Every structure is written in C-alpha cells, then in structure tokens.
Chain A
Amino acid sequence: GENVEQHPSTLSVQEGDSAVIKCTYSDSASNYFPWYKQELGKGPQLIIDIRSNVGEKKDQRIAVTLNKTAKHFSLHITETQPEDSAVYFCAAIASGGYQKVTFGTGTKLQVIP
C-alpha cells in the first residue's frame, strides 16, 4: 500500500517568513496530492491540491510543487500570518473510483507574531 512521510513534525516561523513542509510517497500509481489544514477541534480543510500532470500550482500565498520522479511534493506558504498556525496534512491518492486516501503524519505550524 501507499506510504506517505511528512516532515517536519513541528515548524515555528516568524510572522512574514516562509514555511515549507515536505512529503514523500511510495506508490507510483498515486496521481492526486491534496494538502489539508486542520485547526484545533475542527475537521481538516482542503487548502490546495495538485495532480501528477502538473509540477507546480499556486494560490495566493500558498503553493505546492510536485516531483514525480523523486516521489515528493511540498507545500510552500509565503508571508506567513498568525492565522496560518495549524496542523497541516499532506495526502496521496491513486484516483479512479473511491481509492483510499493516505495521509502524512502532520506538521504543526506555529507562526510567531
């Protein structure tokens, strides 16, 4: 089955700095890679995703990059704000029907004002 590793487990940055979270996956059949933000006591919220036919995708301060050859993808948050503080999960999915979602272990991001 798919195995997704995520690093770092915790990350502290000063407000305004950038934050980068990295994930690697094992199953070459995975072709859809979403990122989720989870605030304390709430369900995860999809913030950005990327398909395997694209190398990079950007949405305002958030971007995701994908290296299919190396089987890794990263989340980049620029100009971080205190409200970006949360736990972030990456995931890998082999699309086609209702395939299982394999989540990374999560990164707790703390943005220091």
Chain B
Amino acid sequence: GAVVSQHPSRVICKSGTSVKIECRSLDFQATTMFWYRQFPKQSLMLMATSNEGSKATYEQGVEKDKFLINHASLTLSTLTVTSAHPEDSSFYICSSRPLRGQGAAVGEKLFFGSGTQLSVL
C-alpha cells in the first residue's frame, strides 16, 4: 500500500521553541495532507488540511499562527508548532490519500504517518 513517512517520531523541546514535523508521501502524489492531533486514549482530532500550492484550511478552534502548515510540493507537507508550550504536548499524525489512478489507485483510502510524540518541557 501507499506509504506516508513522518519525522521525527519523537521530539522533546523547551517551552518557547518551535518544532517542525515533516510528512512525505513516498510512492504517490499527495495534493492534500491531513494533520491530526491525538491525546492519550482519545480519537484523532483533525487540526487542518494542507493543500499543495495553497493555504491550509484550519478546523475551528485551531490557531493558524500557532500551527503553521506548509505544503510546498506534491510529496511534502510540514507542520510547525511555534512557540511551543507544555499544553501543546501531544501525538501529531499526518495522513493523505492517493488520487485514483496513481500507483495503488486506492481512491478514498487514507494512509497515516507513524506519528510524532511532542513533549514540551
């Protein structure tokens, strides 16, 4: 199946610093990447949808200036947590769907990255 590579898998940072998380689609073109946040023992919460070459769409309650999303190419999307604080500590996951006709031709199938555990001290 399609592969989404997410890095880093774990990051510990000091309060006030910024952290960048990268997601790459390895064998398909991802014109859209979804970014989720997951708290312990909870479901995935969609934060924003990044679109290649255009501005990301943020869900209600998600601060655009706090969570900067860049989708500069068809295979790379990044999420930057700016001026991180302890309350930003969470598990962040990206996902994307290959378009029909691309490689695996998987249509609606959503493939996830391996996640990034962010801990802000």
Contacts and interface: CB of A to CB of B under 8 A. Distances in A.
Contacts of B49: 98, 100
B4 to A, nearest CB: 8
Contacts, number: 53
A41 interface: yes
Interface residues of B, number: 25
B67 interface: no
A113 interface: no
Given A103-B43, A104-B43, A106-B42, A41 B113 contact: no
Interface of A: 32, 34, 36, 41-46, 49, 89, 91, 93, 95, 98, 100-101, 103-106, 108
Interface of B: 1, 4, 6, 32, 34, 41-44, 46, 49, 91, 93, 95, 97, 107-115, 117
Given A41-B91, A101-B34, A101-B46, 4 more contacts: A42-B114, A43-B114, A43-B115, A89-B44
